[in-house]
Each structure stands twice: as C-alpha cells, then as structure tokens.
Amino acid sequence: MNREEEITRTFVELADTLVEDVDAGALQHHLAVRCREILDIADAAVLLACEDRRLYSPAPRDPSPALSTLLDVAVREGPAADAYRTAATVYPGDLAETPGAWPGFTARARDAGYTHAAAVALRRRQETLGSLLLLSTAAAPLPAADLALAQAFADATTISLLHARALQQADTVNDQLRTALRSRVLIEQAKGILAVRRNISPDDAFTALRRHARHHHLRLVTVAQEVIDNQDLPQPRSAARPPGRDSPAE
C-alpha cells in the first residue's frame, strides 16, 4: 500500500467512528500510530484538556521510553501546550532554537534524542480539545505538507471525539428522562392508591406523600414505591399499625 492509499485509509478509519461506538482512547492511540507510520517522525502523542483547561496526556498504549519521559513536561510547556492555548500550529523546528519559555521541554526532548518538534491543535471551530505533539529524530524539519496532513488528521479526530461526547451526553439525558418518567409514574400510582385507600382527593394524596417524605427525610419516589408495595403510607419503624385500622391521613 503506497502513502496516498495509507492516507485515504486513515481518513476512512477516522470517519468510521461517526457511525460506531467511539472508544476515545483507541481513537487517540490510532491517531498517534498513523502519524508515526505516515509522517516522517519518530513519535507522536495526543494531549487532551481537562475541565479546568489544563492539559494531560492519556497513557499511550505503546510509548517509547523517550516519549514517556517527555510527556510529563509537555503538558505544561512546549509546542503541544502552546498549540492548545493558541489553537494554532506551533512549529519551532530545530530543538536547538526553541523559545526560552520551554527550558524543561527542550532539555528533556534533546536528552531523549529528538531533534525537531511541532504540534497542531485538536480543534473544531471555536472549540479546542487538546493538541497533537509530533517529534522527530531526523536531521531535517518536518515538511510543511506533512504538517498540514497532521492538522487534517487532528481535525478529523476532533470531529470524532466531539461526536463521542455528544452521544455520551445524549445517553445521560435519556437516562435522566427515563428515571424522571419512571418516578412520575410511580408517584401517580401511589397518589391513586392513597386517594382510594383514604377516600381523599388526588391532590390531598400527593400532599400526604410529600409531607411523609419530608418528615422522614425520604425521597418522594421511595415513599411512592412503598405505598404501591404496601397499599398505604409506610409506618414509622418505632410504631406498629394497630390491626384492622388505617393510619390517619398525613
């Protein structure tokens, strides 16, 4: 398979995640592996942003010793951190000429044997999820065409990650709605049972349910379930219901 075919295959694989369950960890690993295979680099790593906007590095599945020693500092300074903050490509090129603001990153990268570094943002419109760090041990810098291709891979990955997040949020909302609906059904059933049992209106039955729940520090749906199970409001544990008599309405 030639390089063009590999590039096409990579985009197809990234697009496939839009119609399947997305494993975010596998997707990030796949992006790093594909960059190493297709681009003229030694290592690649994905750095993502936490809710507090600090970067972290998801544990690579097959990190080289050199990469492992670099990621701890790369989340704080260096091209990946700057690419995330600016949502732009950062390409200092030769690590012998990196900005003075990166002393820790530069020293550790050069000690690990890397000669060039670059990073592109994982971005989609106004949202930036993190960055993709690219590291080389070659004598020449990464070609501009390869850097543009890395950005295209990063953009495709970002779309997939946003898609995965949207699906997860939708699942959470659906679960909450199902729980709310089930709770509403239980409460309505309990109201009907209590209204018939005590010969009171549905509104008065609901008031009794709510008063009992508040008095005993219980969730309303918990009291409703007990009414359904026992056909009346539950009795306090310390008090037994007199046989043959209903408890008074709350």
pLDDT digits (tens, 9 = 90+) for 194-218: 888 888 998 888 898 888 988 888 8
Closest CA to 60 of 38, 84, 30, 85: 30
pLDDT of residue 122: 92
Contacts with 154 (C-beta within 8 Å, 6 or more apart), sequence order: 31, 120, 121, 122, 123, 131, 132
pLDDT digits (tens, 9 = 90+) for 111-157: 999 999 999 999 888 789 999 999 999 888 888 889 999 999 988 88
pLDDT digits (tens, 9 = 90+) for 213-242: 888 888 888 888 888 988 888 776 554 444
Chain mean position to CA 195: 46
Count how many Cα atoms sit within 13 Å of the Cα of residue 197 in the half-sphere of its side chain. 22
Is there a contact between 205 and 195 (Cβ–Cβ < 8 Å)? yes
Residue 104 structure tokens:
């820790």
**Cα dihedral across residues 185, 186, 190, 193: positive or negative:** positive
